[in-house]
Amino acid sequence: MVSRLKSGRLPLNRRLILRLIRRPMRGLAGAVLALLVALMGLSACPAAAMAAVDVAKQVLIGADYSHQDLRGATFSLANLREASFAGSDLQGASLFGAKLQDADLSDTNLREATLDSAVFDGTDLTHAVLEDAFAFNTKFSNVTITGADFTNVPLRGDALKTLCAAATGTNPVTGRNTRDSLGCR
């Protein structure tokens, strides 16, 4: 709730900020305004969302991102060896070129995620939902994909062969069989 003066008017600084919020702001001015709004506890819109995480090109070996809302996050080219994303929502996230050796992505939502050029080696994708993710140039080896859903995920022939050899189970969220979602023969 925004406090008002006895006259019923907003204090000058809050009035100015509220007026500026209604206009589209760009660049540094927009960033400064967003910071002021956050510090004052105001919101530019009723359901303001937090900015997505951006840790591109970082070394995050063993990091724990489990059970978090990471929709739209950027982990491009990050070293995420042995990291845990178990139970997290990574819908629309970018893991382009990420190194995910021995990482735990079990029970994650990876719908519409960018996984192209990522390395999944020894990665646990048990019950993960990858529906509509982009993974054409992704490397998969020694992965656990029990109950994972790969519906509408473009894959290279060699990756598909590797995944079909390991595919078992049914995804508990979508009800789809892993082999069927991959189109295995």
Residue 52's pLDDT is 80
In this predicted model, which residue has the larger pLDDT, 4 or 61? Answer: 61
Give residue 100's Cα distance to chain centre: 14
C-alpha distances (whole Å) from 47 to each of 29, 71, 78, 79 are 22, 15, 30, 33
What DSSP string runs through 132-175? T-B-TT-EEES-B-TT-B-TT----HHHHHHHHHH--SB-TTT-
Q: What is the pLDDT of residues 28-51, one digit of tens each?
A: 555 554 544 444 444 343 333 445
Give residue 155's Cα distance to chain centre: 20
In the chain the first and final C-alpha atoms are separated, in Å, by: 60
The size of the chain, in residues, is 185
pLDDT at position 17 over 50? no
Q: Tokens at residue 18, please?
A: 């509220």
Q: What is the pLDDT of residues 52-94, one digit of tens each?
A: 899 999 999 999 999 999 999 999 999 999 999 999 999 999 9
Other CB atoms closer than 10 Å to residue 173's CB: what's the count?
Answer: 13
The mean pLDDT of the chain is 83
Share of the chain above pLDDT 70, in %: 72
3-18 average pLDDT score: 48
Residue 16's pLDDT is 45
Residues 139 and 121 sit within 8 Å (Cβ to Cβ): yes
Q: How far is 132 from 101, CA to CA, in rounded Å?
A: 22
| Whole-number CA gyration radius for the chain | 21
Domains and CATH numbers, the chain: 9-48 (no CATH), 49-185 (2.160.20.80)
pLDDT at position 126 over 50? yes
